[in-house]
Structure 1
C-alpha cells in the first residue's frame, strides 16, 4: 500500500523529489502547485528557471537565492521550523522505524518520545505558536492518510491498551487481524499497545504461513507489556519484524495526547496526531468496511458511541457495520449493547449492528452486515 502518486491536474501536491522532478520535466512550471516538506537545496537551478506564480512551499529547505526568487514571483514560502522534534509540514505518514529511531539509546531518545515531551511542555506553556504548529501537523497527517487510503476498504479494530502479550485475548485479536487482512481489508487500529498492536500484528503476519504468527506470539510474550520498559517492549516487536521482514501493511492511528502509550511497531503506516479528538474521528470515519469493538473500558465505550452517532443521523447512505465482541462484557460489565440497540431501533441501524460471543465469529458477522 503506497501513497497515491501525482497523476492528474487535479492533484497538485508534490511530496518528494521524484515528484518535483517529474512536474518540472513534464509541465515546465510549478505554478499553483503545493510542494510539501521536500528538500530543494539541490534544485536551485530549477527554482530559478520555472514559473512559480501561486505556488506554495511548505517547509521546503532551499537556497536563499531560490527562496527570494520564488517569493518575488508570487509564491508563498513557509520555511522549516528549527528545533522541532517533528516536521509540521510532513507529506507522508510515519513509519515505525522513523518514530523509534535511536531506540538503542533508550526510548527517551526516539522522535516519538521527544515529540511527546515537546507536546507536554508547550501544552503547559499555552504557546499559541506551538498550538498552530500542532494543528498544521495534524492536518498534514490527515491529508497523507486520505491519500494512502484512496480506494481501499478499511475495517477498524478497537480495543483496550491493557491487553497483554501472551494472553488468549491477545492471540485472538492477532488472528482476527490476520483473517481480515487475508480477506483483502485494510486493518486500522488506534495504533497503540494491547488489542491495537495485536490486530496490527495479525495484518503483518498475513502474507506468511500460519506458524509464523504462532512463533511471533511466543517471542512477544517475553515482553508482555510496555510497562515497566517501553524499550524492551518495542525491541521485542522489532526483533519479530527483523526475523520476518516485509510483512503485510496496516494502519495505526495513535496520539501524543496519550503519549505514555507508545505506538506499536507492526502498523506499516502510522498517522500520529497531537489532537485526540481529530484522531478518534478520523479513525472511525475512515473505517468504511465496518468497526470491530473488542473488550475495553472507557476509551472503547467512547469509540462505540462516537461511531454510533453519525450512523444514527445518517440519512443519505448506509450506516457503517458495527460488531461488538464478548456478550458478557458488553451486556454486564460495561452494558453498552442495550443502549446501542435502543438507538439502532429508532433508526435504520438495527440491521448493521451485531453482538458476537467469540472473536472467531467476527468475519462472518461483518460479511452478514455488509462490511
Structure 2
C-alpha cells in the first residue's frame, strides 16, 4: 500500500483516495472530521475511544487491519461494508503493524528477565513452532506481517540514498575489522547516505554503530568500541551482549539514524541495537531481496561466508541481465578474502565480462578505499 498525500484544508467527504493509509490516531481524527473514511486502510489503531466517530462516518470499503473497536462500532462498520481484520490474541508480534521496530521494542524485558523473555526471542520461538507444525493460518500471519514491514520500510526510505553494507555475523567486537567497518558506516552516514545492513551482529552491527556515531566527535566511536570489546561475541552471553549495546546508547543518546533488516529465520543471530529503524522479517528471501533492492546508492560487501556470497550474486543478477547501464555500484572489500578464501571476485568478473556491469563492480583491499570506489562507480552509472 502506498500513502497518498492529502490536503489539510478540510477536504470534502471521499476526498481521500482509495488506499489512503491511516496509521495514527491524529490522522484518524483528521480524516474522520471530513465525514468519511470510505476506502481508507487503518492499521493497528486502538479505536475503543473513537466509537462515536466510527458510528458517525461513512466506512464503505474501509479496511481495518488489527484495529481494536467496541462491539457496536465493529457491527456498524461491518454493516457499512467495511472489511475488518480483528487483532489476533496471544501473538508475540503484531502482524498488521504500521511502523518499523526499534531495539527497545524488540528487547523489552531484557534487564528484568533476560533475552529469552523478550518479544524478539518469543517471536522466534513462535516461528519455530509454527513452521514445524505447518499451520496455514500462522503462515498467512507471517506473510501479512512481512508485507506490513515492507510497506513501513518503503515509507521510511523515501527520497534517501541508501548504501547497503553486507558482511559476516561472526566478526567480533574487539577486532580491528569490526572497528574498520564501524568507521566506514560513520563515514557514509556523514556523507549523507543512509546505511542499511542485515541488522544482525558482526559486520552488520559495526556498520550500524558507525552510523549511530556519526553526529558525535570521533572519540565517541573509540570509546564505544572499547566498551563493546568487553563483550566481544553474542553466543552464550546474549543478554550481556545486548545490554552492552544499550549501555552505549544510554551513554550517547540521540545518535545518527540507520536501518537494520534482520530475520527470525536466523533467530540465533540477534538484532543489533544500533540500527534506529529495524525491519525484521520472518521470510529470509523477502528480507534478502528487499535489502539489496533498496540499496540504490551502492552495495558494499565486507568479508563474510555463505550469506554474504549469496548476497553478492543476488546483487549481480539484475545487473547481469540489465540491457541498459545498471545503476547500483558493487564494491567487494578484502582482496585475499574474495580471491582466495571465497573466490567470488573471479566469478563476478567473468559474469561481467563484455557487459555494462563491468564498469560498476570493483574489488578493494580495505574499507578506507570504499568511499572513493563508490564515488567513482557512481559517476560511471550516471
Q: By the TM > 0.5 criterion, same fold?
A: yes
Pick one of 4, 21, 44 that aligns with 2:51: 44
| Shift >4 Å, 4+ stretches | none
Q: Does 1:154 align with 2:162?
A: yes
Q: Is 1:273 equivalent to 2:271 in the alignment?
A: no
Residue 225 of structure 1 corresponds to: 233
Shift of residue 229, structure 1, vs aligned partner: 1.2
Q: Determine which of 334, 343, 346 is the counterpart of 1:338.
A: 346
Contact 2:324 2:356 in 1 (8 A): no
Q: TM-score, normalised by structure 2?
A: 0.94
Offset, 1:272: 0.3
**1:134-153 superposed matches below 5 A:** 134-153=142-161
Unaligned runs of 5+ in 2: 7-15
- Answer yes or no: is the 8 Å Cα contact 1:6–1:14 preserved in 2: no
Structure 1 distance, partners of 2:283, 2:322, is 25
Q: Deviations over 1:9-34 (max 9, x none)?
A: 45600111111112123x32100000
Counterparts of 1:318 and 1:45, CA distance in 2? 54
Return the match for 1:302 from 306, 310, 315. 310
Distance (whole Å) between structure 1 residues aligned to residue 342 and residue 143 of structure 2: 34
* 2:358 is equivalent to residue 350 of structure 1: yes
What CA RMSD, in Å, does the superposition of the two structures yield over aligned residues? Answer: 1.2
Unaligned runs of 5+ in 1: none
Q: 1:96 aligns with which of 82, 103, 110?
A: 103
Q: What is the aligned length?
A: 367
Q: Paired residue for 1:59? A: 66
Matches within 5 A, 1:207-286: 207-286=215-294
> Does the 8 Å CA contact 1:6/1:19 hold for their aligned counterparts?
no
Mapped partners of 1:338, 1:224: distance in 2? 33
Shift of 1:316: 4.6
TM-score calculated relative to the size of structure 1 = 0.97
Tell me the distance in 1 between the aligned counterparts of 2:216 and 2:349: 39
Q: Does 1:7 align with 2:5?
A: yes
Task: Check the 8 A contact 2:325/2:357 in 1, yes or no.
Answer: no
Counterparts of 1:108 and 1:257, CA distance in 2 = 16
Question: Which residues in structure 2 correspond to 1:79-228 (within 5 Å)?
Answer: 79-104=86-111, 105-228=113-236
Corresponding residue for 1:289? 297
